Amino acid sequence: MKRNPIGVLLALIAALALLASACGSDDGADSADEVDSGDTAESTSAESSASAGPLRVGIVAPSASNDLAFTQSIVDAVNAVAGDRELDIAVTDGTFIVEDAAAAIRGYAADGVDLVIAHGSQYGGPLQEIAPDFPDTAFAWGTAVDTFGLPNVAAYTVRADQGGYVNGTLAAQLSESGVLGVVGPIEVGDAKLYVDGFVAGAKAQDPNVTVNVNYIESFSDVALASEAATAHIQNGADVLTGTAQMVVGATGVAGPAGALWFGTQSNQTPLGPDFVVASQVYHWEVVLSEMMAEIDAGTFGGEVYTLTLENGGLVIEFNDGAGADSSVIDGAQATIDGIIDGSITTSDG
Amino acid sequence: MWSDFFTTSVIVATLASAVRFATPFLLAALGEAVGQRSGVLNLGVEGVMLCGAFTAYYVRLNPSGWGWAGGMATAILAALAVGLCMGLLYAWMTLVMHAEQGISGIGIFLFGLGATDLLFQKQVGVPLPISGLRPIRIPLLGDIPHVGDILFNHNVLVYLAYVLVPVITLMVNRTTFGLNIRAVGETPEAADTLGVNVNLIRLGAILIGNALAALAGAALVMNTNIFQQNLTAGQGFIAVALVYFGAWRPGGVMAGALLFGLVSSTVLQLKTLGIVSGAASALTAMAPALLTIVVLVIVSRRIGQPSALTRPFDRNA
């Protein structure tokens, strides 16, 4: 039989491409190895218990585990929880495509993972279909406030407007031009909350400040975020902020242009040690610990958990290296205290 | 509100942004136009761009680690070298093995996407910023009011992209190599009977196309100063569309890239200034892609593609 060289070649290319793609997007096991390779691995192996065994946690998230933004916030949080209790962690990241995420969620549930974290508001549809098929698996979904009335689905969300407000007051004080720029993804979820809070904080600090907001309609287009930041700077902005994983494009031009940057979701100081002033950091471990305690007690869902400055789930982390006026930074604590005691209202949220 | 847009400073900034925005599209589309004129379609432009972008980024990320070779020129040359290697791979697939070009190109794209994702995660991890190319104001020309800011205050890769337009036009239309490219793209059998080595000419065109695609990726990285997985976000596919838009002519490709860049930068400015927001903002974000589709539909009805496009040549067949 004559072998068709074209067929062989195509098969080779397809195999190569699939291999590279699969390796690149990290399947659960591979990522779990990576996540577990640090301190977490030591704690989990050292505390290995013969009785109940570790709680198995599967994370499904849209972007890279080290994006210094949304996905990293949940991966860091689960690793933080693993410092206090025994966890067996697996991560499937890079699932911008909802169908891919749905397959991963179902796969974790079918594999007997105890808690499946669907870290993306876009995953709600598939989760609503999958969760009833696995009543003995706990599912967590965020950022969201809807549990679909299912007993094994918990939702988690964040009052991103609170940190946005603090960042906004700081930005208004540090701006010399009186023009601030915001690079947002799509006007939904915690991105909208953060941006609204930032604008409210800036306006509360200085009613005359101009805050230009640009939602670029993408969570992943780095080049577009870069040009949006450039447009802000060309329009006079000297302090920028933004949310979602594409902001690395904006920080890439903010620093060289001499603009200051305020981050959110994760600590973004590594993106600009000399111009990132402060970051609102999501410490999901606060709600994850509560959630896991409920699972231990036999309750798999039904609750909505919220990160706030009050419960310590939101923390403003400052970067001394940005050279911002220390009195301004010190003043931020008063704003934080005001939000916590309710004397400052950040938004309707 | 609209009056905020129609100010000299905003219009100058928008036009300058359009020139910059168009650069990666232009570089990649120019290379793809050369390849297609020779009869080779490469849908893997996006993957080659990603490989070029990652290579340039990786060299620039830790320049001291590369010793004397850690400079800007090395980063760009390394990206070009990677592009040439991917060109050789694609040439082997399409010219030697006669693989179907559309499928092979998609294979190259998937390979580039996966490989750069993997390498980024394993070799870099966190998306740390690099020191990219700074704008260079051209003496005298850069001092022309407004025009200087729009055209003559960009980084060197922007200038190179636009200089390549007449260079490639001349190459295609005025050199023997260009004549051969057109000949093998229209009637390779006839070119072969005249003694033209069809596959060698196509190899040259593929290498030019892949080198420019990799350079486009490097230009993107040097402008944004960062790399992230899937950095190009579809720009390579838009570049392929721009080749059709420009009717396989460098000037037309440039016009298409500039139009695309202008619409994109205008939408960005309108949103930045708060002139469009909410649902209108989401709708205007689709404008560049929508415009491309409309023009493609119009253009494709008027202009024919190279006759031998996607058709492999085998003189023994």
Query: What was the pLDDT predicted at A2?
Result: 44
Closest CA–CA distance from residue A297 to any residue of chain B (Å): 37
Residue in chain B closest to A72 (alpha carbons) equals B126
Residue A17 in this model has a pLDDT that exceeds 50? no
Task: State the average pLDDT over residues B248-276.
Answer: 91
Residue B234 in this model has a pLDDT that exceeds 70? yes
Query: What was the pLDDT predicted at A192?
Result: 92
Give the best-scoring range by mean pLDDT among A275-279, A328-332, B68-72.
A275-279
Residue B188 in this model has a pLDDT that exceeds 70? yes
Residue in chain B closest to A14 (alpha carbons) equals B107
Task: State the average pLDDT over residues A208-223.
Answer: 91
Is B271 in CB contact (< 8 Å) with chain A? yes
Write the DSSP symbol of residue B306. P
In this prediction, residue B42 has a pLDDT band, given cuts at 50, 70 and 90, of very high
In this structure, how many other beta carbons lie within 10 angstroms of the beta carbon of residue A125? 10
The Cα A206–Cα A328 span in angstroms is: 14
Domains of chain A: residue spans and CATH? 26-142 (3.40.50.2300), 160-283+312-341 (3.40.50.2300)
Structure tokens at A278: 């402060």
Closest CA–CA distance from residue B176 to any residue of chain A (Å): 32
Closest CA–CA distance from residue A233 to any residue of chain B (Å): 10
B9: chain A residues, CB-CB within 8 Å: 234
Query: What was the pLDDT predicted at A347?
Result: 67
The torsion angle over the Cα atoms of residues A184, A190, A195 and A198, rounded to 10 degrees, is -140
Residue in chain B closest to A223 (alpha carbons) equals B224
Residue A15 in this model has a pLDDT that exceeds 70? no
Nearest CB to B233 within list A18, A220, A251: A220
Whether A220 sits inside 8 A of B277 (CB atoms) is no
Whether B99 sits inside 8 A of A25 (CB atoms) is no
Whether B10 sits inside 8 A of A235 (CB atoms) is yes
The Cα B214–Cα B236 span in angstroms is: 10
Residue B311 in this model has a pLDDT that exceeds 70? yes
**How many alpha carbons fall within 13 Å on the CB side of residue A200?**
21
Closest CA–CA distance from residue B145 to any residue of chain A (Å): 16
Query: Mind giving me the DSSP string for A299-325?
Result: -----EEEE-TTTTSEEEEE-GGG---
Residue A44 in this model has a pLDDT that exceeds 60? no
A187: chain B residues, CB-CB within 8 Å: 278, 281-282
Is B232 in CB contact (< 8 Å) with chain A? yes
Residue in chain B closest to A182 (alpha carbons) equals B272
Closest CA–CA distance from residue B316 to any residue of chain A (Å): 16
A221: chain B residues, CB-CB within 8 Å: 233
Whether A227 sits inside 8 A of B235 (CB atoms) is no
Task: State the average pLDDT over residues B160-169.
Answer: 98
Q: What digits encode the pLDDT tens for the residues A68-91?
A: 888 998 999 999 999 999 999 999
Is B189 in CB contact (< 8 Å) with chain A? no
Ramachandran angles phi, psi of A107, nearest 5°:
-65, -45
Task: State the average pLDDT over residues B140-160.
Answer: 95
Query: What was the pLDDT predicted at A8?
Result: 46
Closest CA–CA distance from residue B17 to any residue of chain A (Å): 7
Closest CA–CA distance from residue A212 to any residue of chain B (Å): 6
Nearest CB to B224 within list A231, A249, A271: A249
B97: chain A residues, CB-CB within 8 Å: 5-6, 9
Q: What digits encode the pLDDT tens for the residues A85-131?
A: 999 999 999 888 899 999 999 999 999 999 999 999 889 999 999 99
Whether A26 sits inside 8 A of B223 (CB atoms) is no
Residue in chain B closest to A267 (alpha carbons) equals B126
Closest CA–CA distance from residue A123 to any residue of chain B (Å): 21
Ramachandran angles phi, psi of B55, nearest 5°:
-60, -50
Task: State the average pLDDT over residues B270-288.
Answer: 81
Query: What was the pLDDT predicted at B65?
Result: 66
In this prediction, residue A186 has a pLDDT band, given cuts at 50, 70 and 90, of confident
Residue in chain B closest to A6 (alpha carbons) equals B99
Interface test with A, best of B4, B226, B235 (most A CBs within 10 A): B226
The Cα B244–Cα A3 span in angstroms is: 36
Residue in chain A closest to B287 (alpha carbons) equals A217
Q: What share of chain A is helix, strand, coil (3-state, %, to 5)?
A: 45, 20, 35
Type of residue found at B116: T
Query: What was the pLDDT predicted at A46?
Result: 34
Whether A223 sits inside 8 A of B278 (CB atoms) is no
Q: Which of residues 133-152 of B touch A (CB under 8 A)?
A: 134
Whether A18 sits inside 8 A of B110 (CB atoms) is yes
Q: What digits encode the pLDDT tens for the residues A132-178?
A: 999 999 999 988 899 999 999 999 999 999 999 999 999 999 999 99
Considering only residues B3 and A56, tell me which one the structure prediction assigns the higher pLDDT. Answer: A56
In this prediction, residue A254 has a pLDDT band, given cuts at 50, 70 and 90, of very high
| H or E element, residue A90 | strand A87-92
Query: What was the pLDDT predicted at B70?
Result: 61
In this prediction, residue A33 has a pLDDT band, given cuts at 50, 70 and 90, of very low
Nearest partner of B278 among A139, A270, A184, A245, judged by Cα: A184
Query: What was the pLDDT predicted at A94?
Result: 85
**Angle between helix A222-234 and helix B198-224 axes, rounded to 10 deg:** 50
A15: chain B residues, CB-CB within 8 Å: none
Whether A24 sits inside 8 A of B118 (CB atoms) is yes
Nearest partner of A35 among A77, A84, A94, A98, judged by Cα: A77
Closest CA–CA distance from residue B172 to any residue of chain A (Å): 31
Query: What was the pLDDT predicted at A349?
Result: 43
B224: chain A residues, CB-CB within 8 Å: 222-223, 226, 249, 252-253
Nearest CB to B272 within list A64, A68, A232: A232
Task: Look at phi and psi of residue A345 and say left if phi exceeds 0, alpha if psi is from -120 to 50, else beta.
Answer: beta
The Cα A262–Cα A265 span in angstroms is: 11
In this prediction, residue B47 has a pLDDT band, given cuts at 50, 70 and 90, of very high
Count CB pairs under 8 A between chains A and B. 176
Nearest CB to A23 within list B13, B118, B125: B118
Residue in chain A closest to B105 (alpha carbons) equals A13
Domains of chain B: residue spans and CATH? 2-130+152-302 (1.10.3470)
